[in-house]
Structure 1
């Protein structure tokens, strides 16, 4: 049986059909908004003056993004790399499987 999934974007400002998802960030917070072509152009024009005068950031410096390590102090990047090096299947994003974390902690 074939299945077809259709995603229809709705403009977050006025509910019309959106043509794209626009991503932007300010003060360390990233945003996504679905906009039609007119609203996307309006946003780009409003931000363009500031973007043209600004310098690009590499992302590693400046204000904190608000993301913190979990209370357990788990280094997800290190665990994922360790699991891959051991040939284990690990989620590339999101929560790491508990058994993988346990194996990592036992090995370290």
Structure 2
């Protein structure tokens, strides 16, 4: 166990911005993927997996494409949301630690 913990609130705020930027990028990946897939999937007669029995099994099966797609997109959404929550937590911690440090230093001024 560590004997002490040191945190630089400004560096933590900077890290929060990096984390928030990553959240934005992950969300954009999900959005771009949705757009690309919508274009492919909207053409009912020309779907890559076809309309035959094998194509339907590929697309609609228990472990088929559509379920895998939905899981991937849901996971991407969740990842973006989690990263945004991390960024908010980092900002909150930086603010709290900055105020605590300033409050502790007041008697010495």
TM-score range, shorter chain: under 0.3
Q: Which has the higher helix share?
A: 2
TM-score, with normalisation over the residues of structure 1? 0.21
Q: Which structure would you say has the larger RCO, counting Cα contacts within 8 Å and 6 or more residues apart?
A: 2
The structure having more radius of gyration, on CA atoms, is: 2
